[in-house]
Amino acid sequence: MSINTLLAIFSGLIGLCIGSFLNVVALRGLSGESIVYPPSKCPKCGKKLNWYTNIPVISYLFLGGKCQFCREKISLQYPIVEASNAILYILAFLSFGLSLKTLLLWVVLSLFVLICITDFKERVVMDIHTYILIVTGFLYNLLHLGEIPLLDSVLGIAAGYLILEIMAHIGTLTVKTRAFGEGDTLIAMGIGALLGWKMLILTVFLSVIIQAVFAIPALFIKYIKNKQLKSAYSLIVIVVSIFALKFLNPQSSSYLLYLTGICTMLLCCLFIILKDLKNKSQEQDFSYMPFGPALVFAALLIIFFQEQIFKLLSLVS
């Protein structure tokens, strides 16, 4: 077995252990408990867990997904977060080797995981997590570990604020509710600090597409069930229009025009989603998808698959 394979396995084990800790940080942060005391316990019966039932992923599988004491089901969140963090750590090592760059990216990746946990679970983004993300992203470029000058990192922070706040207030002006939360703005600022303003724009564009891919089918099913046929037809028209843009003018070489058309259609979709969210009681509905995880996933694509994304975009254009 080569040294790189051993280091990759070691990276995964570190990721598993830190992933287990991230579950504690996220859930206790939401509940207001200390992350130090009390020790790990069952969220249902409150009994302290033995060390051998607290091994990441393995204990969940060994116990059949149930507490050793009360036999209540343990949330799938625990092994999913642990495994996800481990996979991200391995990807970072395989992409950038054993380096300071990898170590700082591990911090960024774990912050991304934390943000996704709290946003998915409670529609909350902790300010402290995003502040650390912004500082880490700036430090990453201050140490010349990235591929952008420090000025681009500073401009990325500013662009993250401006872009998300402008988009958020479009919602306020049109349907009297923010398109995105303030936490999403802070996430964008952190991504801008890490990747720079140019890659931030691409990240936001990809995140809107990712959001639409998940939200449109969910909304369509909801509208059909509720017999809101006009809204359902509107979604169909938007999706068909997005695909038709490329084929209506196949000789066009205007990449900017094509992107502008797609963005316009996606903004129309956003308008429908925002209109749907005017009734705050619907925020717990499946059709309401937090935007933070979409931003995070888009940033991960840029970090690990930047070259492939540019090739794909060049083929599309």
pLDDT digit string, tens, across residues 149-189? 999 999 999 999 999 998 888 777 766 667 778 899 999 99
Identify which of 12-16, 54-58, 283-287 has the greatest average pLDDT.
12-16
Give one word for 88, left, alpha or beta, with left for phi > 0 and alpha for psi -120 to 50: alpha
Mean pLDDT of 53-65: 84
Rg for the chain, CA atoms, rounded: 21
pLDDT in tens, 272-302: 666 665 554 444 444 457 889 999 999 999 9
Q: What is the pTM of this model?
A: 0.85
Mean pLDDT of 190-216: 89
Distance CA 223, CA 235 (A): 10
The yes-or-no verdict on residue 208 having pLDDT over 90 is no
